[in-house]
Structures are given as structure tokens and as C-alpha cells.
Amino acid sequence: MINNIVVQILTKIKKARRGTLFFSDDFISTGNSEAVRKALQRLVKYGELVRIATGIYVRPEIDPVIGPVTPGIETIAKAIARRDKARIVPAGIYALNRLGLSTQVPMNLVYLTDGAARKVKVGKRTITFKKATPKNVSSIGAISGLVIQALKTIGKDKVTPDETEKIKSLLREEKTTHLRQDIRLAPEWIRQIMQQVLNDNKV
């Protein structure tokens, strides 16, 4: 029974490109959860899969120099969000780092989500999904959504002139339609900074 499930799972993962993330639930049609768990354990033992986190596996890409390469922690977070059909937005120090406003590389990533709150351990790092209101995860601009969360992390009246200019420069790279949409999601003091960019662009 288990050997049959192993073959079915192996066949499925080999049809996908290397580097694809798999969740235990992806194989629920092959057997009950316990049988699937044991089959996945065997595939890890055989070297066909690498266990990334609880219930998350990958058939790693193979680099000719460094060997097996597993997905980055951001890729894993996005895959979890897609599985859960949830929206996520980077928050805290992570948002600052993504925008280049902090050189601190966070070991633990924090995302706001409209999905379930949870923590996922990936090696020595942790992905934290914090439950948020729909408004806080409704941004459509990759830059403007990050800016809102980064400024919230810095705090009102604590943003330096240099940070303000850096943020304005980044927002000028955002699509105008996205900026117009996301400005409505920001607190008033952040909205004022975003509005200055819209005014400067005369849109």
C-alpha cells in the first residue's frame, strides 16, 4: 500500500519542474493522511524530496556547482498564501528592508494576512502570518503597499527627511493607478506623503 502511494507521489512530483513546492494535502487523493505522511518520509529518505517545513516539501533544483538548491523563505511564504487563498503583505522590519530603508536582514519574516494566523518554522527562521483586517492587506501596488507598512513601523513624527525623500523616490516608480488606489488605505499622515508624489507627477 505504502509503496504504491510512494510511486504515485513520485510520478506526480516528477511531472512538475524542480523547485516546485508541495504540500501534504496535494497528495490526499493517493491515500489517507498517515499513509501520505509515511510515503513522503520515504521519498525524503530516498533523496527525492527535501522537507522544508512541517507538511511542506520540494524536489530541489540542482546547481552544477553548489548542488541542491531549495526555495527561499519568501517563495515559501507566497506558496503558503496561494495554498490558503490568502492575501499577504510584508510588515515590520521586513518591509523596511525590502524598501532599502533598513540594512537589517530579519531572520524572521512577518506578513499581515487575511488568512489564518500562524507561525511556520523553516530551518532556523520563522515566517509569522499575523491576522489583519481586510483593509490592511488590500493594497494592489507592490511598492505602495510596502511603503504603508514601512511607515507604520517607523511611526508618525519619527520619519526623517532622508527617509521621506527615499520613500517619495520609490513611490514615483509605482503605477499611478495603484498609487491612487492604495492612498485610500493609508492613515492620514502617510496619505499626505503619498499625495505629494501624485501632486509632483501632476496626475
Report the alpha-carbon distance of residue 129 to residue 91 in Å, rounded: 10
Mapping DSSP to helix (H, G, I), strand (E, B) and coil, where does residue 160 land?
coil
Rounded mean pLDDT of 36-50? 95
| pLDDT digit string, tens, across residues 151-164 | 999 999 999 999 99
Question: Please, which residues have CB within 8 angstroms of residue 189's CB and are 6 or more apart in sequence?
Answer: 156
pTM attached to this predicted model: 0.88
Lowest mean pLDDT among 51-60, 128-137, 147-156, 194-203: 194-203
Q: Confidence band (pLDDT; 50, 70, 90) for 3?
A: confident
C-alpha cell at 192: 499626505
Mean of all residue pLDDT scores within the chain: 93
| pLDDT digit string, tens, across residues 86-137 | 999 999 999 999 999 998 889 899 999 999 999 999 999 999 999 999 999 9
May I ask the CATH architecture of the domain 2-69?
A: Orthogonal Bundle (1.10)
Are the CB atoms for 116 and 129 separated by under 8 Å?
A: yes
pLDDT recorded at residue 2: 64
Angle at 126 between CA 125 and CA 129, to 5 degrees: 155
Q: Is 200 exposed, middle or buried (0-12, 13-18, 19+ CB in 10 A)?
A: exposed
Long-range CB contact pairs, 81-87, < 8 A, 24+: 81/111, 81/113, 81/115, 83/23, 83/25, 84/115, 84/116, 85/115, 86/113, 86/114, 86/115, 86/116, 86/129, 87/113, 87/114, 87/115, 87/137, 87/138
String of DSSP letters for 8-69: HHHHHHHHSPTT-EEEGGGGGGGS-HHHHHHHHHHHHHTTS-EEEETTEEE--EEETTTEEE
Report the alpha-carbon distance of residue 45 to residue 66 in Å, rounded: 21
CATH 1.10.10 location in the chain: 2-69
Rounded mean pLDDT of 79-86? 95
C-alpha cell at 107: 531572520
The percentage of residues in the chain with a pLDDT greater than 90, rounded to a whole number, is: 91
pLDDT recorded at residue 203: 46
What would you report as the CA-atom Rg of the chain, rounded to the nearest whole angstrom? Answer: 21
Rounded mean pLDDT of 172-187? 95
